[in-house]
Amino acid sequence: MTGTWAAPGRVNVIGEHTDYNGGLSLPVAIPQHVSCTLTARDGGTIRVASQQHGRDWIAIPLDWLADTDIAGWARYPLGVAHEFRKRGHNIGGMDLWLDGNVPAGAGLSSSAAVECAVAVAIRDTFAPTVSDVELVEITHRAENDFVGAPTGVLDQSASILCTAGHALFLDAATGAHTQVPFDLATAGLELVVIDTGTPHNHATSEYATRRQQCEAAARALGVHCLGAIAATGAVDALTDPVLRARARHVVTEDARVREVVALLQAGDDPRPIGPILTRGHVSLRDDFAVSTPQLDAAVAASCGAGAYGARMTGGGFGGSVIALADTGSSVRIGEAARQHFSVAGWTPPQVFVVAPSDGARRVR
């Protein structure tokens, strides 16, 4: 039995570093995706290989997954298989061939795309009663527990639950999610991605430190998570200036998500959400301290070239910027960004347009 499944990367329109704080976010799936061709095989061995990572097969008995020290890219698909087994699903031997075009390290969630493509393939082949919501849990636990990256649930939710022409309004505290209309083409708009070429890694960056700081701030404020705080002034009670800044970003970012969702749900012109995106970037830069000179330059270049707003997307410490602009603006924005980067002596960024797309699915 052989089939192929695909799962997309994502950009987050607004709501960064809020998911692991029990807060709100608004991601969209993008056309760039990872495909997984699964071939069921006799025996109890799983083999994984990737077009992007040397094409050599890595094989391990399923019974050995819990104790394997295999590192690198293969840990993502193997972690998903391990999580299915932990939950009591009787999965058999298989070959997993991975291919894709989500840029790695660009803040577009290539790792979650790998996990989710593998998850839907294993689900459909061996455990068809597993729901999409449980798939989100399986892939999230694989990344947290098996890979060791302390991320929130946003990336996996987007890759599995998003639908074309919509953004996913996600409440990480409850798992509640709603599809919000986000048909940019009809409005004469496009979402431009500027990949700064400065890769990041959630497992090795200061991402874990930011999560620890948020947890410390929540304890000091007497709440179980920062997402439980609605009043932005509440964070002023924190005496530690670093914790106060981290908490202020999360609480104000939740408010920005609500503001953007209200505008989109009203069915009005989406252009007014642009300045909200830019305010979000300023908060990520100044209060959460996860931006970089390249990300800041890409935001400035985009807004200077006529974008309605721009912000870094993803965990930060590198990666990409998104810009909301009129259709046909990507060339002008790209030229402006490349000029900024050239003056600074940086490698030219990659610029492309994305549209809100469908989540994980079988393709053949």
Nearest partner of 46 among 87, 77, 67, 2, judged by Cα: 77
Amino acid in the structure at residue 236: D
Residue tagged active-site, from 19, 56, 155, 358: 155
Active-site residue, 155 included: yes
Nearest partner of 144 among 158, 156, 128, judged by Cα: 156
Phi-psi region of 70 (alpha: psi -120 to 50; beta: other; left: phi over 0): beta
Residue keyed to tokens 């890769």: 199
Q: How far apart are CA 33 and CA 320, in angstroms?
A: 16
Evaluate whether 39 touches 1 at the Cβ level (below 8 Å). Answer: yes
Per the structure block, which two tokens stand in for 119? Answer: 């998850």
Evaluate whether 180 touches 265 at the Cβ level (below 8 Å). Answer: yes
Phi, psi of 58 (to 5 degrees): -115, 120
Distance of CA 238 to the CA centre of its chain: 29
Phi-psi region of 272 (alpha: psi -120 to 50; beta: other; left: phi over 0): alpha
Residue keyed to tokens 């069921």: 40
Q: How far apart are CA 249 and CA 194, in angstroms?
A: 23
Amino acid in the structure at residue 50: S
Q: Which residues are catalytic?
A: 155
